[in-house]
């Protein structure tokens, strides 16, 4: 007798083009690429084209009413029919409250159509995708399942867009607050600089050598406060993509010598701070003030965390870049702290030295000038080296 062969039906083949389009749309929705304000319009257009629908719309419940955020492929009457309706009287209520798809007999202008309502959840409510198809069309199960998945992704994308808008508003508020602070602080700081300068010039009478040194220190520290205030404002502008870069040609060695003789004169004289500056450094075409802030914050941070041990500053050239390495022989940085070293308001080891804002300024300004900053500590207790690489010519923003 001949044995009968058992045959298993082959699974249906996947539409690879459709799968690729679905993955591309999913990636676009989850990443919420582009302007968050235009996301609803892009969303309904992409969904309608992907599903081959006549049109599409998206809406959410806001303050007890259904608000249509965007439409595509349908007329204004369609939008007006659903926009602003209270949830109780809305035809969409069964879908929005029960989180189940709904098919409605509908019209687009004078043309009879069907609307497939696909609900999604938000953290503070609910919404729905409208897929508009011809009156006689019966959505295929496969397409309907894809549409339900996309509706869920749309909810995630809209939630992400809301969060982006909140963060943008917070950044603007922070920038406005810092601008107001700068306005209030600049006047007294400039007055302090002016009076310290007059004292140093003996406009109010002769000074002893010690008094002249104190006056010069006051003036220098006041100027540094003005620079720090400007740097703080620049960080706020950077976060809102409005940081001005003022390109000038200058010798980096002059900036380093000014720091050595001024801000860090005492540390240099005591031997705690040593300098090793290459003689062949070419001039930089960059923002002099921001480069100075990078160097000053780097060295100041190293001195704070060195525990009184020596700090070494080495400046060399590497092809079209300058490399600034600041090494301290302090306690080092724990492995779990190192990845967060350049984040704002992250104090150093132990959390007792400063605000942690200095290294954040270093990172922001270095990246704005086209460079990069890294930190390395071999083992805890072996010290830390922070390295900044800056291009000889900063990019024009």
Return the HEC string of 342-358. CCCCCCCHHHCCCCCHH
User: Each residue of 242-267: b (16+ CB within 10 Å) or e?
Assistant: ebebeeeeeebeebbeebbebbbeeb
- The verdict on 78 and 134 lying in the same domain is yes
**Best CA proximity match to 132, nearest among 160, 162, 106, 97:** 106
CATH classification of the domain holding 37: 3.30.450.40
Is residue 97 scored above 90 in pLDDT? no
What pLDDT sits at residue 366? 92
Q: Quick check: is 264 in a domain?
A: yes
Q: Quick check: is 6 in a domain?
A: no
Q: Quick check: is 109 in a domain?
A: yes
Q: Quick check: is 233 in a domain?
A: yes
Our count of domains for the chain comes to 3
Q: Quick check: is 1 in a domain?
A: no
CA atoms of 230 and 1, how far apart (whole Å): 95
CA atoms of 208 and 155, how far apart (whole Å): 73
Task: Kindly give, in sequence order, each residue whose CB lies less than 8 Å from that of residue 282, ignoring residues fewer than 6 positions away.
Answer: 317, 392
Is residue 98 scored above 70 in pLDDT? yes
Q: Quick check: is 7 in a domain?
A: no
- The verdict on 131 and 214 lying in the same domain is no
CA atoms of 264 and 112, how far apart (whole Å): 80
Is residue 279 scored above 50 in pLDDT? yes
CA atoms of 377 and 167, how far apart (whole Å): 34
The whole-chain average pLDDT of the chain stands at: 79
- The verdict on 179 and 133 lying in the same domain is no
- The verdict on 129 and 191 lying in the same domain is no
CA atoms of 275 and 252, how far apart (whole Å): 13
pLDDT bin (cut points 50, 70, 90) of residue 184 is confident
Task: Choose between 124 and 371: higher pLDDT.
Answer: 371
CA atoms of 68 and 56, how far apart (whole Å): 11
Domain boundary among 126, 145, 166: 166
Distance of CA 99 to the CA centre of its chain: 35
CA atoms of 119 and 130, how far apart (whole Å): 9
What pLDDT sits at residue 110? 86
Task: Kindly give, in sequence order, each residue whose CB lies less than 8 Å from that of residue 307, ignoring residues fewer than 6 positions away.
Answer: 330, 331
CATH classification of the domain holding 363: 3.30.565.10
Task: Kindly give, in sequence order, each residue whose CB lies less than 8 Å from that of residue 33, ignoring residues fewer than 6 positions away.
Answer: none
**Cα dist. 202→121, 198, 217 in Å?**
73, 6, 15
- Taking the complete model, does pTM exceed 0.85, yes or no? no
- The verdict on 304 and 382 lying in the same domain is yes
**Cα dist. 165→38, 161, 354 in Å?**
12, 6, 32
- The verdict on 372 and 319 lying in the same domain is yes
- The verdict on 326 and 227 lying in the same domain is no
Is residue 45 scored above 70 in pLDDT? yes
**In terms of residue numbers, what domain contains 342?**
248-391
Which tens digits make up the pLDDT trace of 372-385?
A: 999 887 665 568 88
- The verdict on 272 and 367 lying in the same domain is yes
- Quote the percentage of the chain above a pLDDT of 70: 80
Lowest mean pLDDT among 53-62, 140-149, 315-324, 348-357: 348-357
Which tens digits make up the pLDDT trace of 186-230?
A: 778 878 878 888 888 888 888 888 888 888 888 877 877 776 777
CA atoms of 153 and 148, how far apart (whole Å): 9
- The verdict on 36 and 161 lying in the same domain is yes
């Amino acid at each position: 007798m001949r044995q009968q062969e058992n045959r298993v039906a082959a699974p249906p083949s996947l539409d690879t083009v459709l799968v690729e389009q679905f993955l591309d749309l999913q990636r676009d929705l989850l990443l919420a690429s582009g302007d968050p304000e235009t996301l609803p319009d892009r969303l309904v257009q992409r969904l309608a084209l992907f599903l081959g629908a006549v049109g599409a719309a998206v809406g959410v419940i806001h303050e007890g009413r259904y608000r249509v955020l965007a439409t595509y492929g349908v007329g204004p009457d369609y939008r007006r029919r659903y926009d602003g309706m209270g949830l109780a009287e809305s035809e969409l209520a069964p879908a929005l409250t029960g989180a189940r798809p709904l098919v409605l007999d509908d019209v687009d202008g004078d043309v009879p159509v069907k609307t497939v309502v696909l609900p999604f959840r938000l953290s503070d409510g609910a919404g729905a995708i409208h897929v508009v198809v011809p009156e006689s069309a019966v959505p295929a199960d496969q397409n309907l399942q894809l549409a339900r998945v996309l509706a869920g992704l749309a909810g995630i994308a809209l939630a992400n867009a809301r969060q982006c808008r909140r963060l943008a508003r917070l950044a603007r508020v922070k920038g406005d607050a810092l601008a107001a602070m700068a306005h209030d602080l600049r006047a007294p700081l400039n007055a302090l600089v002016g009076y310290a300068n007059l004292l140093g010039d003996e406009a109010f009478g002769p000074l002893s050598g010690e008094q002249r040194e104190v006056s010069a220190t006051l003036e220098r520290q006041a100027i540094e406060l003005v620079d720090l205030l400007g740097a703080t404002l620049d960080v706020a502008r950077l976060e809102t993509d409005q940081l001005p870069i003022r390109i000038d040609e200058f010798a980096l060695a002059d900036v380093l010598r000014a720091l050595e003789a001024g801000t860090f004169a005492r540390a240099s004289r005591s031997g705690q701070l040593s300098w090793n500056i290459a003689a062949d450094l070419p001039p930089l075409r960059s923002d002099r003030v921001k480069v100075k802030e990078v160097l000053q914050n780097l060295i100041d941070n190293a001195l704070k965390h060195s525990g009184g041990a020596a700090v070494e500053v080495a400046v060399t050239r590497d092809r079209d870049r300058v490399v600034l390495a600041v090494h301290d022989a302090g306690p080092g940085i724990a492995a779990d702290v190192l990845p967060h070293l350049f984040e704002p308001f992250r104090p150093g080891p132990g959390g007792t030295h400063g605000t942690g804002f200095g290294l954040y300024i270093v990172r922001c300004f270095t990246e704005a000038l086209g460079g990069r900053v890294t930190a390395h500590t071999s083992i805890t207790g072996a010290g830390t080296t922070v390295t900044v690489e800056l291009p000889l010519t900063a990019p024009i923003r």
